[in-house]
Amino acid sequence: MTFKFNTKTVHFQKKSEEKNVSKSQPIYQTSAFSFKDLDDMEDFFRGNKEFLYTRYSNPNTEDLGQGVAQLEGAPKGVATSSGMSAILVGVLSVVGHGDHIVASEDIYGGTYQLFANELKEFGIEVSFISMNNLLEIEQAIKENTKLLYSESITNPLLRVEDIDGLVTLAKKFNLKTMFDNTFATPFLIKPYELGADLVVHSATKYIGGHSDVTAGVLVGDETIMAKAKSKVVNLGCNLSPFEAWLACRGLKTLAVRMSCQVKNAQALADYLRNNESIKKVYYPTTVSENGNGAIVTIDLGEKCDLNLFFQSLNWIKIVPTLAGVETSVTYPVGTSHRSVPDSIRSKLGITKGLVRVSLGIEDSEDIIQAFSEAIEKAKV
């Protein structure tokens, strides 16, 4: 049957036992699977059995990979131990020693660290450029360029990427494209359906949705994903069954959570744009028919005492992450983009007054009141 998005978020699991079928998928909390004899075990390597050893695969991790792939409209997906391991696996599936990546300069700080420092150990070169100008991107492409990398909605300044433009340019030069879709989720944007080769998620965020799991998911076509699966197994990037189960449970409520969080973000952005104490509000427009995202980033500028603002937030939690059901704030200069050089942060506009707000599912009036009181107390 062909389901619409909300139904897909609930009905995506495929690995149920034929006997004693449970309404909720069981947790296959095992490191290995048993066989009746050597021929039975050999059937795994012949492709006749799905599971051998949990580092290779497990029903729960398969559910998560395929569940996200289904929502993204991709043929295959694989679950990994974190969003960063999913990015690494995706990159190493299409580039190798001597190859070159063109990456957006305004990406998550952890990804910047991976690309700028760790990939050098693999002999991979990365150029960070503005993705606002397709001509500049084309000029950055070299003979050894293999991949264009960006985020569908960037972290933390919320620039909405021109996925169509990048995909068209990549095809012109026979390059692969990879997009981190963590902020948007397939509820808002589906890069694979727009022509992207790989889509990655920190499932720690909106996929899991409850701030109680660390996981990643990579989706793409069957050829690339076969390479990615091999990387997950051989590099030990696999996810535990229990965390996969938690993320799958969270995935079932993705649509209802995002629907509420997006509405709350829009309400908060509208309020903050009319608050004279806020220097700048970053919140995209016309992202999709389902809304414009669940993150609002603000620059407090010189009219607010930064420390006093954070101290005055009352029930709003200060955390180094995002996307739980509780509204929270983080400080990019001190957390997500701490490792990015000052010169680059300054160029991008990641200032010392920048605060990233992750909207939860509370009543919007309560969220707005909390920020209104904190801003009022922090006025200078």
Query: Of the candidates 288, 290, 294, 366, which has an alpha carbon nearest to the alpha carbon of residue 323?
Result: 294
Mean pLDDT on 371-378: 95
Whether the per-residue pLDDT at 282 is higher than 90: the answer is yes
Q: Does the pLDDT of residue 219 top 80, yes or no?
A: yes
Averaged pLDDT score across all residues of the chain:
94
pLDDT at 15: 62
- Rounded Cα distance between 149 and 178, Å, is 5
Number of CB atoms found within 10 A of residue 349's CB: 14
Q: pTM above 0.85?
A: yes
197 and 279 both lie in a single domain: no
Distance CA 248, CA 239 (A): 12
Distance CA 87, CA 107 (A): 12
Q: Indicate if 288 and 187 belong to the same structural domain.
A: no
Q: pLDDT tens across 32-49, in order? A: 999 999 999 999 999 999
pLDDT number for residue 237? 97
Which backbone phi and psi does 315 adopt, to 5 degrees?
Answer: -85, -5
Question: Per-residue pLDDT for 14 more than 80?
Answer: no
pLDDT at 18 (0 to 100): 57
Q: Which of 14-23, 30-39, 151-160 has the lowest mean pLDDT?
A: 14-23
Domains of the chain: total: 2
| Residues 161-185, mean pLDDT to the nearest whole number | 97
Q: What share of the chain is helix, strand, coil (3-state, %, to 5)?
A: 40, 15, 45
Based on the fold, state whether residues 271 and 246 are members of the same structural domain: no
First vs last Cα of the chain: how many Å apart? 59
- Angstrom distance (rounded) from CA 227 to CA 230: 5
C-alpha distances in Å from residue 192, one per residue of 74, 164, 197, 220, 286: 6, 11, 6, 7, 19
Q: What are phi and psi of 77, to 5 degrees?
A: -145, 155
- The CATH number covering residue 212 comes to 3.40.640.10
Residues 235 and 265 both lie in one domain: no
Q: Given 233, 251, 269, which residue is the final one in a domain?
A: 251
Q: What is the pLDDT of residues 190-207, one digit of tens each?
A: 999 999 999 999 999 999
Cα 107 to Cα 120: distance, rounded to the nearest angstrom: 18
* pLDDT above 60: residue 88: yes
Output the six-digit token pair for 41: 């075990």
Alpha carbon distance 357, 355 (integer Å): 6
Q: What pLDDT, in 10s, does the model give residues 326-369?
A: 999 999 998 888 888 888 888 888 999 999 999 999 999 999 99
From 251, 283, 303, give the residue that closes a domain. 251
- HSE, side-chain direction, 13 A CA sphere, residue 331: 13
Residues 369, 272: contact at Cβ < 8 Å? no
For residue 16, is pLDDT > 70? no
The CATH number covering residue 294 comes to 3.90.1150.10
Quote the pLDDT of residue 338. Answer: 85
Tell me, what's the pLDDT at 380?
Answer: 83
- pLDDT at position 17: 55
In terms of domains, do 121 and 195 share one?
Answer: yes
**pLDDT tens-digit readout, 238-265:** 999 999 999 999 999 999 999 999 999 9
For residue 149, what pLDDT is reported?
A: 98
Question: What pLDDT, on a 0 to 100 scale, did the predictor assign at position 1?
Answer: 61
pLDDT at 202: 98
* Same domain as 279, residue 244: no
| Mean pLDDT (whole number) for 281-297 | 97
More confidently predicted of 20 and 371: 371
pLDDT of residue 320: 95
Question: 278 and 235 in one domain?
Answer: no
User: 237 with 351, same domain?
Assistant: no
**Residue 4 confidence (pLDDT):** 87
Domain C-terminal end among 234, 251, 268: 251
- How many whole angstroms from its chain centre is CA 369? 29
**List of residues 6+ apart from 336 with CB closer than 8 A:** 108, 109, 110, 155, 156, 320, 330, 356
Task: pLDDT band for 13, please (50, 70, 90 cuts).
Answer: low
What contacts 99, CB < 8 A, 6 or more positions away? 124, 125, 144, 145, 146, 147
CB 354, CB 288: distance < 8 Å: no
Res 221: pLDDT = 97
User: Which residue bears the tokens 């309400």?
Assistant: 267
> 307 and 161, same structural domain?
no
In this structure, what DSSP letter does residue 37 have? Answer: S
For residues 317 and 346, state if they share a domain: yes
Interval 259-281 mean pLDDT: 96
pLDDT of residue 96: 97
81 and 25 share one domain:
yes
What pLDDT score was predicted for residue 340?
Answer: 86
Mean pLDDT computed over 286-310: 95
Q: Based on the domain organization, do 142 and 186 belong to the same domain?
A: yes
> Which H helix or E strand runs over 180?
strand 176-180
Share of the chain above pLDDT 90, in %: 86
Full residue range of the structural domain in which residue 74 is found = 5-251
